[in-house]
Amino acid sequence: MNSRERVLRALRFENPDRAPRHLWYLPGVSMFRADELNAVHEKYPDDVAYAPVRYGRAKRESGTPNEVGTYVDAWGCGWSVGEPGVIGEVKNPPLADWSALDTYAPPSELFDGVDLSAVDAFCAASDQFVLEFFGNPFERMQHLRGTEALFMDIAYGSEEVMRLRDLVHGHNLRHLELLCQTRLDGVSFMDDWGSQRNLLISPKRWRELFKPLYADYCRIAHAAGKYVFMHSDGNISAIYPDLIEIGVDALNSQLFCMDVEDLARRYQGQITFWGEIDRQHVLAFGTPQDVRDAVRRVRTALDDGRGGVFAQCEWGINVPRANIEAVFEAWLESGG
């Protein structure tokens, strides 16, 4: 079977010939280790591709991301980068003072000038499963307001934080609706919700403020025949049932921040586990054998042959190539 068929079978629990492969990598890998990256891709080709969407020119954007120094993104958020090849942190949020909210507008010019003409042709020509990213509402709110301030806003339930949420959500909906007009196989969004042990806000507050947004995304995408992929770092075990309920098809989460075996007992067959392998400890500091052992743990818990699991990992700038190759080698071993 080809890559698209393999991914579809994994998502539908219809016995793919193997777990689909999907390698993520931080900017520094492509910037400074391109030869190694290309070699791994050649040896272990991805089953997932991203669409060639061309967005309009952002009015606020300046500087160069991922290089030491500062840059401003399309939303006007000022980023600081202290190490080459990393995304950095927002140090100048444009809505640090709520008085700026009254005149603030999202970067609609990205969509006014969007060019989707190449997307359908790319999807038709590719045998890979084609995804495109469309939003990260919680993280974007942090970038606009500042993380500490936003947590206080959520705790106090300010009227402004609801306006900000709806502003970001409206932008994401417009983005999603544009993508749903194409032949994309799936759409993806992300928000990092977990600390090492728990959700960053109470599950009750999360369900009040953010679950309805994600439910909108799933409803719109599914109505257009698209699969929904989501990523979230940290321990998010408290909201796994909610994400299943609203229709997230594939979830990328830090399995090793949680109890992998318990997740399997509770949710196997209800959602596709879109990776991953422990990048905090095993990939970064372990040996190839440690990596193979980690993959075997995930496979023993989740890979029963029916599907519902991806061979996915993230390549950090200092992670040895041998560890990344060990991930995909172990996913090809017989017997799980």
Q: Domains of the chain, with CATH numbers?
A: 3-55+105-332 (3.20.20.210)
Share above pLDDT 70 across residues of the chain, in percent, rounded to a whole number: 99
What integer pLDDT is reported at residue 99 of this predicted model? 96
Check residue 69 and give its pLDDT: 97
Structural contact between residues 71 and 63, judged by C-beta atoms closer than 8 angstroms: yes
Identity of residue 224:
A
- The residues facing 309 across adjacent strands are 273
What is d(CA 70, CA 65) in angstroms, rounded to the nearest whole number?
Answer: 8
Q: What is the pLDDT of residues 64-87, one digit of tens each?
A: 999 999 999 999 999 999 999 999
Cα(94)–Cα(78) distance, integer angstroms: 8
Give the torsion sign (CA, 116, 220, 189, 156): positive
pTM for the full predicted model: 0.96
The one-letter code for the residue type at 251 is L
Confidence of residue 334 (pLDDT cuts 50, 70, 90): confident
CB neighbours of residue 226 within 10 Å: 24
Q: Average of pLDDT values for 161-175?
A: 98
**What are the φ/ψ torsions at residue 22 (nearest 5 degrees)?**
-155, 110
Distance of CA 193 to the CA centre of its chain: 12
Give the 3-state secondary structure of the chain.
CCHHHHHHHHHHCCCCCCCCEEEEECHHHHHHCHHHHHHHHHHCCCCEEECCCECCCCCCCECCCCCCEEEECCCCCEEEECCCCCCCEEEECCCCCHHHHHHCCCCCHHHHCCECHHHHHHHHHCCCEEEEEEECHHHHHHHHHCHHHHHHHHHHCCHHHHHHHHHHHHHHHHHHHHHCCCCCCEEEEECCCECCCCECCCHHHHHHHCHHHHHHHHHHHHHCCCEEEEEECCCCHHHHHHHHHHCCCEEEECHHHCCHHHHHHHHECCEEECCCCCCCCHHHHCCHHHHHHHHHHHHHHHCCCCCCECEEEEECCCCCHHHHHHHHHHHHCCCC
Cβ-in-10-Å burial (0-12, 13-18, 19+) of 216 comes to middle
**Spatial CA neighbour of 245 closest among 279, 207, 292:** 207
How would residue 335 be classed by pLDDT, with cut points 50, 70 and 90? low
| Amino acid occupying residue 107 | P
Going by pLDDT thresholds of 50, 70 and 90, the confidence category of residue 54 is very high
CA distances from 163 to 95, 97, 204, 232 (A): 12, 14, 20, 24
Cis peptide bond prior to 333, omega within 30° of 0: no
Q: Which residue has the tokens 């979230």?
A: 232
Question: pLDDT tens, 128-143?
Answer: 999 999 999 999 999 9
